[in-house]
């Protein structure tokens, strides 16, 4: 059941050295050549969603709220090169993930895999007179449930998905009394599947009421989609962490120690896992996926043993060549789709998927897991070595310059002065912009 969806790579290397030094226009041309984008794609990237489209997407629409769309580079996953479209406002995220992907290439990149894309629909049954007997009746009704649910989703069934089974869970002690919870399992293939699962749960509820003698209340998917997992791993020679007079071994050991902290302490694990989602959410947003669903699933999965923990594992091991290596692994639920929903409606999401070049939702989930692992690696590497602020400073200074109203042509200059002065404050940026203070020695 669990495997990778690896496929042949006929694309150029995603190792784009110095990409960040190109102008925005040059970057667009580079990516257009790399991913085969046409003029319409480039227009879609620039224009994104229209106000008219927004008006159809949500209620009471007023306008648009734009996010920067950047590109994570250097990714090699299951031997295939990927460029990662990322919609995110936080400075350093894209630079950091690209840097970690470059490091991972020293160990052959990431290996990733995924389970079948099976979602869970929940039906809550109350006032069930005989829960044990109801469980038997519901489990025995599997063929009837399949016959009821599969015809509701012809396109999913045509694609090889459909109803996969039924499970019953007992909640004997809740504030509203005992409950029987029925899980309907649905393989959603390349769709995220929320609508399909909710439709199935609502359609099955009357039959489940008849079988159990109980009363159905909620009929909705679970965002703890732990039947739809993705994982990624990498093994990086410790020597790859050396640089600027720093040896690799203490950095690798520091990363393992940082991970142990997050394994043991929920206060640290929350921040650690937030750093993982720094990579996963931007890719989800860029591809039109529901990042709140991913957040909910990730954090619930992090607490699956009753203790909230790190979603990653990093440890120093003996590498294949006998030299020490840092081995990392992540596993989490990733319910993502490449068809339907916003993915289909948002023009920039379509182009993002084209850049990514994934053939299935599982492949997207596998790449996403690798992105989460890379984002975590970059954060832990910086935290274990120079600290996080050093890398953040330049971009933070640019944000502060922008916040103070710096025009595009002056942002770099003002930011550089803020850093040189060691006081990155909007008030100081405003003073610099007000003029006559660019050479102030204070």
Catalytic residues: 90, 274, 290, 392
Does residue 379 belong to the site contacting ligand MEV (CB under 6 A)?
yes
Contacts of 342 (CB under 8 A, 6+ apart): 57, 288, 289, 349
Given the rule CB under 6 A, which of 5-13, 268-276, 365-373, 393-401 is the region that contacts ligand MEV?
Answer: 268-276
User: Cβ closer to ligand MEV: 90 or 412?
Assistant: 90
DSSP 32: H
Given the rule CB under 6 A, which of 111-119, 130-138, 270-278, 355-363 is the region that contacts ligand MEV?
Answer: 270-278
The correct pick among 144, 170, 274, 354 for binding ligand MEV (CB under 6 A) is 274
User: Cβ closer to ligand MEV: 271 or 350?
Assistant: 271
Given the rule CB under 6 A, which of 52-60, 111-119, 123-131, 267-275 is the region that contacts ligand MEV?
Answer: 267-275
CB of 295 to ligand MEV, least distance (A): 14
What pairs with residue 69 in β-bridges?
87
The correct pick among 70, 275, 297, 340 for binding ligand MEV (CB under 6 A) is 275
CB of 74 to ligand MEV, least distance (A): 20
User: Cβ closer to ligand MEV: 48 or 282?
Assistant: 282
User: Cβ closer to ligand MEV: 182 or 400?
Assistant: 400
Site string for ligand MEV, 337-366 (x = CB under 6 A): ------------------------------
Given the rule CB under 6 A, which of 181-189, 191-199, 274-282, 397-405 is the region that contacts ligand MEV?
Answer: 274-282
Given the rule CB under 6 A, which of 99-107, 272-280, 397-405, 420-428 is the region that contacts ligand MEV?
Answer: 272-280
Q: Per CB under 6 A, which of residues 242..261 are in contact with ligand MEV?
A: none
Per rule CB under 6 A, count of chain residues that contact ligand MEV: 9
User: Cβ closer to ligand MEV: 153 or 299?
Assistant: 299
CB of 108 to ligand MEV, least distance (A): 24
Secondary structure of the chain in HEC code, one letter for each residue:
CCECCCCCCCCCCCCCCCHHHCCHHHHHHHHHHHHCCCHHHHHHHHHCCCHHHHHHHCCCCCCCCCCCEEEEEEEEECCEEEEEEEECCCCCHHHHHHHHHHHHHCCCCEEEEECCCEEEEEEEEECCCCHHHHHHHHHHCHHHHHHHHHHHCHHHHHCCCEEEEEEEEEECCCCCCCEEEEEEEEECCCECCHHHHHHHHHHHHHHHHHHHCCEEEEEEECCCCCCCEEEEEEEEEHHHHCECCECHHHHHHHHHHHHHHHHHCHHHHHHHHHHHHHHHHHHHHHCCCCHHHHHHHHHHHHCCCCCCCCCEEEEEEECCCCCEEEEEEEEEECCCCCECHHHHHCHHHHHHHHHHCCCCHHHHHHHHHHHHHHHHHHHHHHHHCCCHHHHHHHHHHHHHHHHCCCCHHHHHHHHHHHHHHCCCCHHHHHHHHHCCCCCCCC
User: Cβ closer to ligand MEV: 90 or 202?
Assistant: 90
User: Cβ closer to ligand MEV: 5 or 388?
Assistant: 388
User: Cβ closer to ligand MEV: 228 or 392?
Assistant: 392
Site string for ligand MEV, 54-93 (x = CB under 6 A): ------------------------------------x---
CA distances, 240 to each of 95, 141, 164, 171 (Å): 18, 56, 45, 50
Does residue 278 belong to the site contacting ligand MEV (CB under 6 A)?
yes
* Residue number with the smallest Cβ distance to ligand MEV: 275
Secondary structure of 275-302 in HEC code, one letter for each residue:
HHHHHHHHHHHHCCCCHHHHHHHHHHHH
Does residue 181 belong to the site contacting ligand MEV (CB under 6 A)?
no
The correct pick among 227, 272, 299, 381 for binding ligand MEV (CB under 6 A) is 272
The correct pick among 106, 345, 388, 402 for binding ligand MEV (CB under 6 A) is 388
Does residue 271 belong to the site contacting ligand MEV (CB under 6 A)?
yes
Residues that bind ligand MEV (CB under 6 A): 90, 271-272, 274-275, 278, 379, 383, 388
């Amino acid at each position: 059941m669990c495997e990778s969806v690896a496929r042949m790579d006929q694309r150029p290397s995603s190792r784009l050295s110095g990409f960040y030094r190109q102008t925005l226009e040059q970057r667009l041309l580079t990516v257009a050549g790399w991913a085969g984008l046409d003029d319409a794609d480039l227009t879609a990237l620039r224009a994104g969603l229209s106000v008219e489209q927004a008006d159809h997407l949500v209620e009471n629409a007023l306008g648009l709220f734009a996010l920067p769309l950047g590109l994570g580079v250097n990714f090699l996953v299951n031997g295939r090169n990927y460029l990662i479209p990322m919609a995110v406002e936080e400075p350093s995220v894209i630079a950091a993930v690209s840097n970690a992907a470059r490091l991972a290439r020293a160990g052959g990149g990431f290996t990733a895999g995924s389970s079948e894309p099976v979602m869970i629909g929940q039906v809550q049954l109350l006032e069930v007179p005989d829960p044990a007997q109801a469980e038997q009746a519901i489990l025995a009704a599997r063929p009837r449930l399949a016959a009821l649910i599969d015809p509701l989703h012809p396109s999913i069934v045509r694609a090889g998905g459909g109803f996969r089974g039924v499970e019953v869970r007992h909640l004997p002690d809740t504030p509203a009394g005992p409950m029987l919870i029925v899980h309907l399992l649905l393989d959603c293939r390349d769709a995220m599947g929320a609508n399909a699962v909710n439709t199935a749960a609502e359609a099955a509820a009357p039959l489940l009421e008849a079988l159990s003698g109980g009363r159905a209340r909620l009929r909705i998917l679970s965002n703890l989609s732990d039947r739809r997992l993705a994982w990624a791993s990498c093994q990086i020679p410790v020597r790859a962490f050396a640089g600027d007079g720093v040896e690799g071994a203490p950095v690798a050991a520091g990363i393992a120690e940082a991970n142990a902290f997050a394994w043991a302490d929920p206060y640290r694990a929350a921040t650690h896992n937030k750093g993982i989602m720094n990579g996963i959410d931007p890719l989800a947003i860029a591809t039109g996926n529901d990042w709140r669903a991913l957040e909910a699933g990730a954090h619930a999965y992090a607490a699956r043993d009753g203790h909230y923990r790190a979603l990653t594992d990093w440890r120093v091991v003996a590498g294949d060549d006998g030299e020490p290596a840092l081995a990392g692994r992540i596993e989490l639920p990733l319910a993502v789709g490449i068809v339907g929903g916003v993915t289909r409606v948002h023009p920039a999401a379509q182009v993002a998927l084209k850049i990514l070049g994934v053939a299935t939702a599982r492949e997207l989930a596998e790449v996403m897991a690798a992105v989460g692992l890379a984002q975590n690696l970059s954060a832990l590497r910086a935290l274990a070595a120079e600290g996080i602020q050093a890398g953040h400073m330049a971009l933070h200074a640019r944000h502060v310059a922008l916040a103070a109203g710096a025009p595009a042509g002056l942002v770099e200059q003002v930011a550089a002065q803020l850093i040189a002065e060691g006081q990155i404050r909007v008030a100081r940026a405003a003073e610099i912009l007000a003029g006559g203070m660019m050479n102030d020695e204070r």
